[in-house]
Structure 1
């Protein structure tokens, strides 16, 4: 056999071996000792077909993850959901281990790749798309830090939250009258009110530009003839006032994130969608909106940083001021129109609207349909705000912020616990490590399941020897298994000998905002919004129960998990 022939045979064998190796690598490769679906290992797509079937049947995918742990009766499991990649994703259903990793083991785990892929096409230069131990992440944190400090929250955010909520109260008063006691879907109203809040805080927004005020004028002028034609067994339906083109663009881009959340190819799928109509036009309008506000803020910014800080009234003004001061410290020109400025602003708008609106929608459902907590909360508020009761007025924003009302804190915390608007959070192991006694190789994606066992279902048993030392020291307790899936705000209260209650945030697991360095950036703003909004709504309305056969809704998935509708039936107080 000639040397040329031998060379050809060798090349063919080598190529065949490489092709066989590559093909084998496509098949799932389980981590030893961690439960998995055996049928998934016999197909290149692993668990993807099963996950797709679940989505088709249920309309959402996040509960599929907890279903796998329940199927295997284990606090830890593994699934194969990465296309053309045999590496598993590990599922963790244990609140102590999750909390420990988030708070104490952030040197071993960082932001998950799937989350970065889900948001990366729309927000490539925002927190969610950046790894933690990098100069870039620190730069972005520094750029945004003023927006969550008490001076800005108390002096700028709180008054806007109060005013925009009172606009919502005004809208619901007229809708309650026009609906003649019938329920109506309030989800859109809630979303527009929280959108008004974040737009006002970010850019400045007068009532003439308010979505809620626009809806009020629209409803007052148009809807009498519509609601009078509705039978008593059906909810009242109100026509929706159109939004501005730029405002609608922001909401459309927010809704587009569901593509990355549900797709098996999140970045690619999102990237393509953003370059096709109508999202391509939404991106253009978003860029024009932010560019115009930046130009106006820069043009009006005082030369002195101290004076500019004192006069800043919006998040955008603080952000461009921070960009200028950081540029001065490093001897560079300010990059006011840098991609990172636009992405952080858009992320601020999206995060400040979506999470709060959907949490509040769930909360109103719980308060209306659960006997007891709403009345107890109203009594607690009336006792706390005696002057407002005596003077026949609403509590002021300062009164709401300063007053300690333990049951109010408990209601808000219970709403957040039970709604679990962000039920799955991902982290990636940055080095070989161990979780519950199992080896987790470097690069493994670990999905933290926060809507299943330990949170809303009885926890799995875990041998104490499998836990790390820091996990054993966790101060967080377990919930009573008898009512773990029910709306019980009292679970958050400690009873004192004097008969007074105190709120205890460590009574049991609640990780809606995550924890540690990658915990939710907007947590303080979210709590402030919930506090002011809940007080004002409970003060002005009684939310009446909806018949069980009318409380039928699906679950929608975007950044957060939301009800497809939020029917409310009101009695104006």
Structure 2
């Protein structure tokens, strides 16, 4: 009797597994048909654009292997400002969502509006004044490390600016974001538990693979282990544990103050969210869950770490290639009578402002971003496009679920908007009247698309701009900067953020080798 029961269970298990396998196979066959149908029925089908280089990945290999100029130098010149290209799978949002959870980068619709409304006050000008003290503290710590390296090496030292800036901005977002010390600028920084977890988790979440593409569109396959999934789970577990500790510390601090908001002095972003959530004047429906609050920790790190370090690195790169710009900026900075100017003082320096704006125009940290249509709509075109059939379109019909890639750098570098010198790094353009066409750019800052616009515009753009200004004020005031390798050896690559790399050393990751020496006071 026992043998029959065991055999029956085995047969049922086999039937279940066969059914599951058949279902997966059918779905695997069904999905390409759906994708092909969507492509055939797409309103983008007849738009001009480059031919696919891969039957599965479309134009993705070409995009991945080339510099980021492919959109706005090659394809836009050949096919116009509105084109179609084929990337059958959009994995970035889902993949990063596995690491961050329901943070501001990941959520959509009403939940995004809800989170943004609660988080926005944390990036007000009043808050930034408090953060600037930390900005200067860490910028000066980096300056002193570079100065000591000059003393060791002689009159000139070589530093990897991108690596050091990444450490500095990580320290800053840790302190200002959730009152946490990464000690990234210190020798023990590499051993920091949260630092290691974030680094491992980010690389695991963004490492491209065919299986990751399949999982992004086949939720039923996500329970099957993939390369990097174990690392990602371990990193996420560490991040969640430390995040919970930080969250409980913030709550305990507020409880100790007797829930009196006015007496709670902690000003980091996480504490501000907790304070808002625990305010008894706010109904429960207007509060974020602990899960949503915790999701902001990695979100703050990615938003306030890589983007700012990369943007500042590109600024130093541009200054290293333009001695007259660097000298003029240093002269302005050295005329400031204090090493700790206020936010208002920094914003009143015209050439510093011009250099930052020109960097973020010319070297946008995120050169493009993607959007998914949540409903059928009509997209008006500023420049009409002629399709493959010779029909002129002044608008494009977009269907729910279609993906649209916004070429941020395409707008920031368009000669039609900025003039014939659009592809030149020229801070002086910001000291005179901009072309009239630039006023039509719907960005939230600086007449450019770097920080996007509308309800999904960058919520922390003031934070990013101020930290960049503090870094440039501190470093350019102290050092003369030159590129340590030939200009043609520096290329750019994008993995969410655009970074400088050394040609032939892509596997080593982003690098910006600079030669630094002490700058004399004029």
Q: Same fold (TM over 0.5)?
A: yes
Query: Does 2:101 match 1:127?
Result: no
Structure 2 equivalent of residue 323 of structure 1: 277
Structure 2 equivalent of residue 565 of structure 1: 511
Against the structure 1 CA distance between its residues 68 and 27, is the aligned structure 2 distance closer, same or farther, given a 3 Å change threshold? farther
**Alignment counterpart, residue 169 of structure 2, candidates 179, 186, 194:** 194
> What is the rounded CA distance, in whole Å, between the counterparts of 1:506 and 1:22 in structure 2?
38
Give the CA deviation at 1:53: 4.5
> What is the rounded CA distance, in whole Å, between the counterparts of 2:43 and 2:415 in structure 1?
26
Query: Does 2:356 match 1:412?
Result: yes
> What is the rounded CA distance, in whole Å, between the counterparts of 2:226 and 2:461 in structure 1?
30
Structure 2 equivalent of residue 289 of structure 1: 242
> What is the rounded CA distance, in whole Å, between the counterparts of 1:571 and 1:415 in structure 2?
22
**Alignment counterpart, residue 544 of structure 1, candidates 464, 482, 498:** 482
Give the TM-score normalised by the residue count of structure 2.
0.76
**Alignment counterpart, residue 184 of structure 2, candidates 201, 211, 224:** 211
Give the CA deviation at 1:283: 1.3
Give the TM-score normalised by the residue count of structure 1.
0.70
Query: Does 2:299 match 1:347?
Result: yes
Structure 2 equivalent of residue 253 of structure 1: 201
* Alignment size in residue pairs: 453
> What is the rounded CA distance, in whole Å, between the counterparts of 2:227 and 2:291 in structure 1?
16
Give the CA deviation at 1:203: 2.9
Do the aligned residues in 2 keep the contact of 1:115 with 1:128 (CA within 8 Å)?
no
Do the aligned residues in 2 keep the contact of 1:400 with 1:532 (CA within 8 Å)?
no
Structure 2 equivalent of residue 233 of structure 1: none
Give the CA deviation at 1:455: 3.0
Structure 2 equivalent of residue 280 of structure 1: 233
Give the CA deviation at 1:538: 1.2
- Residues 50-105 of structure 1, C-alpha deviation per residue, up to 9 Å, x if partnerless? 422553x43x6x5444467336431111123225xxxxxxxxxxxxxxxxxxxxxx
SS in 1 for 2:376: coil
The gaps in structure 2 that reach 5 residues or longer are 1-25, 382-393, 435-442, 501-509
Against the structure 1 CA distance between its residues 490 and 141, is the aligned structure 2 distance closer, same or farther, given a 3 Å change threshold? same
Give the CA deviation at 1:522: 1.0
- Residues 277-297 of structure 1, C-alpha deviation per residue, up to 9 Å, x if partnerless? 333221121112111111111
SS in 2 for 1:521: coil
**Alignment counterpart, residue 404 of structure 2, candidates 436, 446, 456:** 446
- Residues 301-336 of structure 1, C-alpha deviation per residue, up to 9 Å, x if partnerless? 1454444564223222211111212x7632579776
> What is the rounded CA distance, in whole Å, between the counterparts of 1:23 and 1:360 in structure 2?
40
> What is the rounded CA distance, in whole Å, between the counterparts of 1:65 and 1:333 in structure 2?
42
The gaps in structure 1 that reach 5 residues or longer are 1-14, 84-112, 219-240, 389-394, 460-477, 497-504
Against the structure 1 CA distance between its residues 403 and 485, is the aligned structure 2 distance closer, same or farther, given a 3 Å change threshold? closer
- Residues 23-57 of structure 1, C-alpha deviation per residue, up to 9 Å, x if partnerless? 9626544537843458559x964xx24422553x4
> What is the rounded CA distance, in whole Å, between the counterparts of 1:169 and 1:139 in structure 2?
40
**Alignment counterpart, residue 528 of structure 1, candidates 458, 466, 471:** 466
- Residues 520-541 of structure 1, C-alpha deviation per residue, up to 9 Å, x if partnerless? 1110110110111111111111
Structure 2 equivalent of residue 488 of structure 1: 426
> What is the rounded CA distance, in whole Å, between the counterparts of 2:333 and 2:486 in structure 1?
28
Structure 2 equivalent of residue 360 of structure 1: 312
